Chain A
Amino acid sequence: DAKTTQPPSMDCAEGRAANLPCNHSTISGNEYVYWYRQIHSQGPQYIIHGLKNNETNEMASLIITEDRKSSTLILPHATLRDTAVYYCIVRVTGQTGANNLFFGTGTRLTVIP
């Protein structure tokens, strides 16, 4: 699986959009980009994933550059409950046994009142 690079920490004002970047310059054509987050002392929580197109769900939006070498997770209106470590993960899918996730160091997002 490709390696990802994320800033170690970011701050965001409550109510503003939080934009979390991720670099994955060695991503392969069949690797998806996944985002999970881990709120303190809890298990990781799935947020969103995508391959090439931008994706949006009730939690966030995922913007993937055209060359797929980087992506941005957008939390449109950050709340205090969004304070967490956010992990960007790329992985191959469609292969039996390849569903394991490799977590990096992530970005610690702190939402400030």
Chain B
Amino acid sequence: DTAVSQTPKYLVTQMGNDKSIKCEQNLGHDTMYWYKQDSKKFLKIMFSYNNKELIINETVPNRFSPKSPDKAHLNLHINSLELGDSAVYFCASTPTSGGTDTQYFGPGTRLTVL
């Protein structure tokens, strides 16, 4: 069973569209994250949620809106997609929001904006 899963794995869309990426973890963790890995392979934190509440927003444009319906899910909705949004998006989770917790990453969603 996959610990952290993401859907879809690949997403190709036109500029200006609105799309969502879903993430689910079955580890019972309290904290979930979204990271973006751009074409230069830099992996950057975007958001962090602890028990459905936002605790980190790393100056991401407000076109990106994470939603956490419960602590096992953290979805990422993106409005008015732009070319620069093309990247691989990784979801991750940890047991808590502090301490030395290991982060468990999902397989990634490759978003291509045309």
User: Using a CB–CB distance below 8 Å, which chain A residues touch chain B?
Assistant: 32, 36, 38, 41-46, 49, 85, 87, 93-103, 105-106
The answer to whether B105 and A43 touch across the interface, beta carbons within 8 angstroms, is yes
Q: Contacts A42-B107, A46-B104, A102-B45 given: A96-B97 contact, CB under 8 Å?
A: yes
For A101, give the chain B residue with the smallest CB separation.
Answer: B103
Say whether chain A's binding surface is mostly helix, strand, loop, or mixed.
Answer: loop
The answer to whether A93 and B99 touch across the interface, beta carbons within 8 angstroms, is yes
Asked if B66 is an interface residue, CB under 8 A from chain A, the answer is no
The answer to whether B50 and A96 touch across the interface, beta carbons within 8 angstroms, is yes
Binds A, one of B12-20, B36-44, B67-75, B79-87: B36-44
The answer to whether A97 and B55 touch across the interface, beta carbons within 8 angstroms, is yes
- B33 partner residues in chain A, CB cutoff 8 A: 100
The answer to whether A99 and B107 touch across the interface, beta carbons within 8 angstroms, is no
The 10 A-B residue pairs with the shortest CB-CB distance in the complex, in nearest-first order: A43-B105, A103-B43, A100-B45, A97-B55, A46-B102, A96-B98, A44-B105, A96-B97, A93-B100, A43-B90
> Contact size class for B?
20 to 34
User: Using a CB–CB distance below 8 Å, which chain B residues touch chain A?
Assistant: 4, 31, 33, 41-45, 48, 50, 55-56, 58, 90, 92, 94, 96-108
Option from B44, B90, B103 in Cβ contact (under 8 Å) with A99: B103
- B42 partner residues in chain A, CB cutoff 8 A: 103, 105
B57 to chain A, nearest CB (A): 10
Option from B100, B105, B107 in Cβ contact (under 8 Å) with A49: B100
The answer to whether A93 and B98 touch across the interface, beta carbons within 8 angstroms, is yes
